Amino acid sequence: MTSQHEEIYQKSWQERQDFAERMQPIIGQLYRNYGVEVSVYGRTLVNASAIDIIKAHKYVGIHEDTKLRLRESFPFVEALSKMELQPASIDVGKLAYRYLFQGEANELSVEQYLEKELAPLQELDKAEPKDIVLYGFGRIGRILARLLIERTGPMANLRLRAIVIRPGKDGDLEKRASLLRRDSIHGAFNGSITVDEEQGAIRANGAYIKVIYAKSPAEIDYTQYGINNALVVDNTGIWSDEDGLGQHLQSKGVSKVLLTAPAKGDIKNIVYGVNQDMILDEDTIISAASCTTNAITPVLKALNDKFGIKNGHVETVHSYTNDQNLIDNYHKSERRGRSAPLNMVITSTGAAKAVAKALPELKGLLTGNAIRVPTPNVSMAIMNLNLKETTDREALNDYLRGISLESPLREQVDYTASTEIVSTDLVGSRYAGVVDSQATIVDGDRAVLYVWYDNEFGYSCQVVKVMHKMAGVNFLNLPKA
Give me the active site residues, please.
291
13: left (phi > 0), else alpha (psi -120 to 50), else beta?
A: alpha
Please choose, from the candidates 444, 449, 456, 419, the residue with its C-alpha nearest in 3D space to the C-alpha of residue 434.
449
CA distances from 60 to 63, 67, 93, 170 (A): 6, 6, 8, 52
End-to-end CA distance of the chain: 45
CA distance 295 to 453: 6
> In Å, how far from its chain's centre is CA 464?
7
CA distance 391 to 444: 6
Which residues make Cβ contacts (< 8 Å) with residue 196, sequence separation at least 6?
202, 203, 208
CB 385 within 8 A of CB 284: no
Which residues in 374-408 are b (16+ Cβ under 10 Å) and which e? Answer: ebbbbbbbbbbbebeeebeeeebbebbbbbbbebe
77: left (phi > 0), else alpha (psi -120 to 50), else beta?
A: alpha
CB 372 within 8 A of CB 406: no
Report the sign of the C-alpha dihedral through residues 195, 199, 204, 209, in that order. positive
Which residues make Cβ contacts (< 8 Å) with residue 401, sequence separation at least 6?
63, 415, 417, 437
Burial of 266 (0-12, 13-18, 19+ CB in 10 A): exposed
CA distance 411 to 236: 27
**What is the helix (H) or strand (E) element at residue 97, kind and residue range?**
helix 92-101
Report the sign of the C-alpha dihedral through residues 118, 124, 130, 134, in that order. negative
